[in-house]
Amino acid sequence: MTRLFGTDGVRGLANGLLTAELALDLSVSAAHVLAERGTFSGHRPFAVVGRDTRISGQFLEAAVVAGLASAGVDVLLLGELPTPAVAHLTGSLGADLGVMLSASHNAMPDNGIKFLSRGGVKLDDAIEVAIEERLREPWDRPTAGDVGRVRVHATAIEEYAAHLDATVGHPLGGLKVVLDCAHGAASVAGPKALRDAGADVVAICAEPDGLNINDGCGSTHLEVLQKAVVEHGADVGFALDGDADRCLAVDAAGNVVDGDQILAILALALRERGELHDDTVVATVMSNLGFVQAMTAAGIAVRQTAVGDRYVLEEMKAGSYTLGGEQSGHVIMSEHATTGDGILTALQVLDRMAATGNSIADLASVMVRLPQVLVNVPGVDKARAATDEVLLAAVAEAEAELGGNGRVLLRPSGTEPLVRVMVEAATADHAHAVAGRLADVVRERLSL
Buried b or exposed e, range 364-403, using 16+ CB within 10 angstroms: bebbebbbbbebebeebebeebeebeebeebbeebeeebe
Query: Average pLDDT, stretch 434-442?
Result: 95
CATH of the domain at 104: 3.40.120.10
Contact 98, 116 (CB under 8 A): yes
Binding-site annotation, residues for Mg(2+): 104, 241, 243, 245
Least-confidence region, from 7-21, 79-93, 262-276? 7-21
50 confidence band (pLDDT: 50, 70, 90):
very high
Last residue of a domain, one of 364, 383, 412: 364
Distance CA 292, CA 68 (A): 45
Is 380 in the same domain as 341? no
Terminal-residue alpha carbon distance, the chain: 24
Last residue of a domain, one of 331, 364, 397: 364
CATH of the domain at 379: 3.30.310.50
Binding-site annotation, residues: 104, 241, 243, 245
Is 278 in the same domain as 229? yes
- Mean pLDDT, the chain, integer: 95
309 to 8, 51, 182, 266, 431: CA distances (angstroms): 9, 20, 20, 17, 26
Share of the chain above pLDDT 70, in %: 99
Domain count, the chain: 3
Is 343 in the same domain as 214? yes
Query: Average pLDDT, stretch 138-150?
Result: 95
Domain housing 123: 10-156
Is 351 in the same domain as 384? no
Query: Average pLDDT, stretch 166-172?
Result: 96
Residues 6 or more apart whose Cβ sits within 8 Å of residue 302: 280, 281, 282, 283, 287, 291, 292, 295, 296
Residue 253, SS3 per DSSP: coil
Is 193 in the same domain as 318? yes
pLDDT of residue 244: 97
pLDDT of residue 1: 52
Distance CA 1, CA 99 (A): 25
291 to 301, 407, 411: CA distances (angstroms): 11, 13, 20
pLDDT in tens, 296-354: 999 999 999 988 888 999 999 999 999 999 999 999 999 999 999 999 999 999 999 99
391 confidence band (pLDDT: 50, 70, 90):
very high
Distance CA 190, CA 241 (A): 11
In this predicted structure, the answer to whether residue 395 has a pLDDT above a threshold of 70 is yes
Does 4 reside within a domain?
A: no
pLDDT of residue 8: 79
Does 194 reside within a domain?
A: yes
Last residue of a domain, one of 364, 381, 416: 364
In this predicted structure, the answer to whether residue 153 has a pLDDT above a threshold of 60 is yes
Is 198 in the same domain as 125? no
pLDDT of residue 317: 95
Query: Average pLDDT, stretch 171-175?
Result: 95
Residue 350 CB neighbour total at 10 angstroms: 24
Query: Average pLDDT, stretch 400-407?
Result: 90
Contact 436, 375 (CB under 8 A): yes
Query: Average pLDDT, stretch 162-175?
Result: 96
Is 230 in the same domain as 264? yes
pTM reported for the whole predicted model? 0.92
State which amino acid sits at residue 346. A
Query: Average pLDDT, stretch 117-146?
Result: 92
In this predicted structure, the answer to whether residue 398 has a pLDDT above a threshold of 70 is yes
Contact 91, 76 (CB under 8 A): no
pLDDT of residue 104: 92
Phi first, then psi, for residue 132 (nearest 5°) are -65, -40
Contact 244, 83 (CB under 8 A): yes
Query: Average pLDDT, stretch 71-78?
Result: 97
Where in the sequence numbering do the catalytic residues fall?
104
